[in-house]
Structure 1
Amino acid sequence: MNFGQEIRELRKKEGLTQEQFALKLNVTRQAVSNWENDKNLPDLELLILMSRVFSISLDQLILGGTDMNNMTKKLVKDGQEGRRTQMHLTLTIIGAFLMVLGLACFVIKANSIEYIDDNGMLHENFYLLPVGYLLLVSGGLTSVLSAVFLYRFKKEQEKS
């Protein structure tokens, strides 16, 4: 049974019109009609409210039995999107942080004092240049990977 049928049966079981059902949930009658006709799906907060108001378990409301309905698929898809978005954000932040560290190495190198001591030894922070380049390249690659990851995710969404 799909989610629209589940909502319609719940409403009829309670003996309510779409208008009365909508009033109990603080939504419009059109929203209820859209749910029942599978044109739209309620968000998770409304599902929890429905569960409480009509004393029905979330399992029964969402799953509607043993088969996956459109609401179950939506919740699974939303969870996957959330994880992917979080991964993209994390990779972007890491890439930006690495590039800032690389730039900081160049600034420190430019502002450090190089000198020759009494024994004729040159003292300079020569290691800051390769470390700075390494951090910049690593940050750039991480940012590119993040963009590729997001692009592939959007392509997958368009296919389904």
Structure 2
Amino acid sequence: MDFGAQIKKIRTNGKLTQEQLAQKLNVSRQTISSWENNRNLPDLQMVVQIAQTFNLSLDQLILGDDTMTNKLVKDGSEVRKARMNLISIILLTIGAICFLAKALIGSEVDSNGMLNEPFFLIPIGYLFLLSGVIGLLIALAKKIIKK
């Protein structure tokens, strides 16, 4: 049974109109209609809310429909990709900040002839930059391989 039929069955078993179900889930009646006609699918958060509202397990609600299961798997995969890209960008930013800090702090020789400089910022900056670039290259490689 497809997801639209599942939603319609849940609604009719509960003796609800599309408008009443929409009010229960805080969505529009048109949204319910588009779900029932398989024009759109709800996001994962809404699927969980539907399951909780009608005391259903997620298995009962979605596993009968490959389209919905595939959408949920795809959504989860896209979240992981976005997280990986964000982490890579943060690593690149931290690396750039290390180089900027080294440039701004500079170096000086004190009265005893000792050189004082934040030398550790250079290797740390390279480490962060390299990690960020590797993360972005992995994401790019995965995207190319999928095509």
Do they fold alike, i.e. is TM over 0.5?
A: yes
The one-letter code of the counterpart of 1:29 is: R
Say whether the 8 Å CA contact 2:22–2:32 is kept in structure 1: yes
Say whether the 8 Å CA contact 2:3–2:68 is kept in structure 1: yes
The answer on 1:55 being equivalent to 2:52 is: no
Shift of 1:53: 2.7
Summarize deviations over 1:71-104 as a string: whole Å, max 9, x none.
Answer: 2212211211111211111121122212222333
Name the structure 2 match of 1:113.
109
TM-score of the two chains, using structure 2 as the length reference: 0.74
Show the 5 A alignment for 1:31-50: 31-50=31-50
User: Secondary structure in 1 aligned to 2:109?
Assistant: coil
CA distance in 2, matches of 1:46, 1:126: 55
Show the 5 A alignment for 1:5-154: 5-64=5-64, 69-108=66-105, 110-113=106-109, 123-124=114-115, 128=119, 134-149=123-138, 151=140
CA distance in 2, matches of 1:148, 1:37: 40
Say whether the 8 Å CA contact 2:99–2:125 is kept in structure 1: yes
Shift of 1:21: 2.2
Say whether the 8 Å CA contact 1:25–1:49 is kept in structure 2: yes
Radius of gyration: which is bigger? Answer: 1
Alpha-carbon spacing, 1:39–1:148, altered in 2? closer, same or farther (3 Å): farther
Runs of at least 5 residues in structure 1 that lack an aligned partner in the other structure: none
The one-letter code of the counterpart of 1:82 is: V
The one-letter code of the counterpart of 2:48 is: I
What root-mean-square deviation, in Å, do the aligned CA atoms of Structure 1 and Structure 2 show? 3.0
CA distance in 2, matches of 1:154, 1:29: 37
TM-score of the two chains, using structure 1 as the length reference: 0.69
Shift of 1:60: 0.5
CA distance in 2, matches of 1:153, 1:3: 30
CA distance in 2, matches of 1:105, 1:154: 35
Say whether the 8 Å CA contact 2:5–2:36 is kept in structure 1: yes
Runs of at least 5 residues in structure 2 that lack an aligned partner in the other structure: none
**85-94 vs 133-142, greater mean Cα deviation:** 133-142
Query: Percent of counterpart pairs with the same letter?
Result: 38
Following superposition, which runs of at least 4 residues in structure 1 exceed 6 angstroms of deviation?
Answer: 153-157
Say whether the 8 Å CA contact 2:84–2:139 is kept in structure 1: no
The one-letter code of the counterpart of 2:29 is: R
